[in-house]
């Protein structure tokens, strides 16, 4: 993962690249729609309108997410990543509804597209650029741990798939002469865009509600179990949350009463290192140290009774 100033600058440059390419794509697709009056190409152009609006918010969100913690935001500003993903998903969904409506209107009104050859060339050119841009943004987003760039990369790839659908519709229309393929293709594209938008909003809501990622849970548990065998201590009450640009993990470690604070701290530090090695350097790990023999009394439980913890979250001390 990236964590240096130069890496953050690279992420910001990628967001600006996405914005300006989006502006160029909007111009190209608008020209293609003006020439052809194709409902399918209109759907592609509408997707680019959403892209430009969404990336403008992405640029702001990425800049804000990289600000250090302050008095008003002691945990930092990275949670804006989830708002950015949700905002982008909402715009995509609105575009999907608009595209579907326009396709139905074209079909019922009997409007026929024109100059499909030139429209196909412009759409294919936009497809190649968007395909590269989406791959580039996803690669940087995953490498830099930026949910904002990942969401934008997925959006750009959705735009590329939209262009593929448009080309298929135009090709079928040109080959068969039946104009119904154009609005039908636009409807299918609209449904795909809607699905993408809903998925982004779900991802946003999951992050804001701190929904646990099962894959992350399994990976952390495996690391903790390995460290448990190494040091002969037990752990329980593990929790984790996505911060937008990293993870926060906390858990309890239970030691024999004879263990010194110095030794317990050293072992806890090793546990924390194991988790960071698994999750990346942007991960924050917090441990709570407990004695095994007096554990129940300290936590207000009757003698011999241990606190209830979901079995999937960790291992109780013996």
**How far apart (Å, rounded) are the C-alpha atoms in residues 139 and 234?**
38
Band of residue 301 on the pLDDT scale cut at 50, 70, 90? low
What confidence tens digit (pLDDT) does each residue in 93-148 have? Answer: 888 888 888 778 777 876 666 666 777 788 788 888 888 888 888 887 777 666 66
Average pLDDT, the chain: 79
CB neighbours of 109 closer than 8 A, spacing ≥ 6? none
Per-residue pLDDT at 239: 92
Bridge partners (DSSP) of residue 222 are: none
Residue 312: pLDDT band (50, 70, 90) is very low
Q: Is the pLDDT of residue 310 over 60?
A: no
Q: How many C-beta atoms lie closer than 10 Å to residue 258's C-beta?
A: 8
CA distance 234 to 187: 56
Residue 55 pLDDT: 78
| Assigned CATH for 214-313 | 3.30.70.1350
Looking at the predicted structure, is the pLDDT value of residue 318 above 50?
no
| Phi and psi angles of residue 254, each rounded to the nearest 5 degrees, phi first | -115, 125
Give the pLDDT of residue 247: 86
pLDDT at 238: 92
- Residue whose structure tokens are 């949350």: 241
Q: What is the pLDDT of residues 49-63, one digit of tens each?
A: 877 887 787 778 777
**Domain spans of the chain, in order of start:** 5-208, 214-313
Residue 285 has pLDDT above 90, yes or no: yes
> Averaged over 33-48, what is the pLDDT?
76
- List, in sequence order, the alpha helices (H) in the chain: 5-36, 39-65, 80-109, 116-144, 147-176, 181-208, 214-231, 261-279, 295-298
Position 302 confidence tier, pLDDT thresholds 50, 70, 90: low
The proportion of the chain whose per-residue pLDDT surpasses 70, expressed as a percent, equals: 85
Q: Are 170 and 184 in contact (CB under 8 A)?
A: no
Give the mean pLDDT of 256-269: 91
CA separation for the pair 219, 245 (Å, rounded): 18
Which of 33-37, 156-160, 194-198 has the largest mean confidence? 194-198
pLDDT bin (cut points 50, 70, 90) of residue 296 is: low
Superfamily holding 5-208: Cation efflux protein transmembrane domain (1.20.1510.10)
Of the candidates 174, 155, 140, 125, the residue with the CA atom closest to the CA atom of residue 49: 155
pLDDT for the residue 170? 76
């Amino acid at each position: 993962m990236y964590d240096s100033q130069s890496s953050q600058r690279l992420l910001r440059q990628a967001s600006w690249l996405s914005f300006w390419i989006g502006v160029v794509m909007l111009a190209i697709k608008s020209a293609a729609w003006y020439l052809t009056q194709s409902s399918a190409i209109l759907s592609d152009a509408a997707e680019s309108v959403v892209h430009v609006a969404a990336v403008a918010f992405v640029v702001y969100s990425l800049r804000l997410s990289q600000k250090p913690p302050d008095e008003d935001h002691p945990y930092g500003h990275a949670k804006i990543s989830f708002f950015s993903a949700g905002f982008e998903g909402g715009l995509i969904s609105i575009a999907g509804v608009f595209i579907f409506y326009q396709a139905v209107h074209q079909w019922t009104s009997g409007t026929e597209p024109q100059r499909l050859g030139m429209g196909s060339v412009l759409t294919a050119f936009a497809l190649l650029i968007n395909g590269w841009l989406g791959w580039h943004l996803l690669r940087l987003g995953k490498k830099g741990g930026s949910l904002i760039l990942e969401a934008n990369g997925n959006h750009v790839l959705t735009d590329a798939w939209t262009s593929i659908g448009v080309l298929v519709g135009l090709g079928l229309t040109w080959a068969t002469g039946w104009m119904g393929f154009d609005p039908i293709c636009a409807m299918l594209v609209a449904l795909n865009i809607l699905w993408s938008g809903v998925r982004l909003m779900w991802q946003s809501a999951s992050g804001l509600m701190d929904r646990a990622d099962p894959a992350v849970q399994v990976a952390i548990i495996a690391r903790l179990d390995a460290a448990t065998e190494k040091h002969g201590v037990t752990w329980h009450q593990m929790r984790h949350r996505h911060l937008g640009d990293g993870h926060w993990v906390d858990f309890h470690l239970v030691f024999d009463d004879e263990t010194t604070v110095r030794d317990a701290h050293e072992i806890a530090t090793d546990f924390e290192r194991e988790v960071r090695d698994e999750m990346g350097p942007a991960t924050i790990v917090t441990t709570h140290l407990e004695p095994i023999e007096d554990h129940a009394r300290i936590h207000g439980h009757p003698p011999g009774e241990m606190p209830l913890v979901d079995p999937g979250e960790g291992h109780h001390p013996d």
